[in-house]
Every structure is written in structure tokens, then in C-alpha cells.
Amino acid sequence: MDEQLLIMLSIMQGSGILAPVLFILFHVVRQFMFIPVAFVCMAGGMLFGSILGTVYSMAGLLLLSALFYFIIRRIPRTHQKLMNIKHKWFGAHTKMTVGQIAVLRLIPFFHYQLLNLCLLERRPDFRGFMKGSVATNIPLAFFYTVFGEYITQFSPGIGVLIVLALFILFYMLREKIVTVKWHDFFSHKSL
């Protein structure tokens, strides 16, 4: 994984004026190379600086979210697999808030597309989905682009404390009311 990231970074550095376009497209391609979003955002900070790195990361993440919105409904098996993962991790009736999704995006190895699916459940129309995507991707892009260099210097204990703080924040931002439909509450599952 590190070799793939280094190769892509060296290609972008040598591409001159096309570097921002390649970087934005790399956000879309990175998921097929199993490179976490946090690493790409950190690389954007190193390549373009804090401000431009954040802007280019946001553009790439929003492009990725828009592609997800239009493609996920056309691939029912993948949609169902993501739903099964969501039900296993969060429960069948859980609808996460936009704040919770934003916090979970800050955890480096959390499944990005699963969080897009949770956002899609919360905001099913394209405009609402993209607004939610902007709101949940800004902290991710800003945090890892600006503070990426310092995060790598943290001790493991500090890293664990940061992740624990994010989980506490996730819990505090939860939706306090869950609505279960009548037929879901009284459904009989076959063994």
C-alpha cells in the first residue's frame, strides 16, 4: 500500500499543472488500491500545502460521494452487502446523524462507503446527500491535511486517547429517538 501511494505521489509531483486534477482523481481510484482516505489527505497537505490540499481533497471526496450516489443503486449486491455490514455494526433500525457520520469519518480505517450509505439513508435526495457529504467531509479533509504531519508523530497512547474521544463524541451525537415500524417490531424471523 505504501509503495502504491509513493508511486502516485511521485507521478503527481512530476505532472506540473495537472497535479491537482490527478490528485482529485486519485481520491476516486484510491479505494480500489485499499489506501485509506486519511493517507491521501495527508499526502495532499504535503504536496499542495494546507489550504490547497484541503480544497483538492474536498473536491476529490465530493466527486467520490457523487459517484457513489449514482452507482450504488445500480449495483444491488454491493448495496445489500453494505446494508448487511451496517446492520451488523450499528443495528437494523439505527439512523446515524450527520454529526455522527462526520466523527466516524475521522477514524482512519473506518469504511468510507459504509458511511456514505448511512448518509444516503439519512438524506436520500441528491441535493441533501451532497450537502451532508460536504458537512461530513470538511472535518476529515481539514483535520488530516493540516494536522497530518503531527498525527504521525503521536505516541500510540495519544492515538488511543484520540480514538476514544471520537467514540465518546460519536455516542453523544446519536439520535435519541428510534422509530420502529409496526410490522418490523412484530415480525417473526424463521430459524
In a domain, 99, yes or no: yes
In a domain, 156, yes or no: yes
Show the domain range for 143: 2-176
Q: Number of folded domains in the chain?
A: 1
Question: Residues 13-42: pLDDT tens digits?
Answer: 677 788 899 899 988 888 888 788 888 888
Per-residue HEC secondary structure of the chain comes to CHHHHHHHHHHHHCCHHHHHHHHHHHHHHHHHHCCCHHHHHHHHHHHHCHHHHHHHHHHHHHHHHHHHHHHHHHCHHHHHHHHHHHHHHHCCCCCCCHHHHHHHHCCCCCCHHHHHHHHHHHCCCHHHHHHHHHHHHHHHHHHHHHCHHHHCCCCHHHHHHHHHHHHHHHHHCCCCCCCCCHHHHCCCCCC
- Of residues 176 and 64, more confidence is placed in 64
In a domain, 191, yes or no: no
- Of residues 146 and 120, more confidence is placed in 120
pTM: 0.75
- Of residues 57 and 186, more confidence is placed in 57
In a domain, 103, yes or no: yes
Mean pLDDT of the chain: 83
In a domain, 182, yes or no: no
In a domain, 155, yes or no: yes
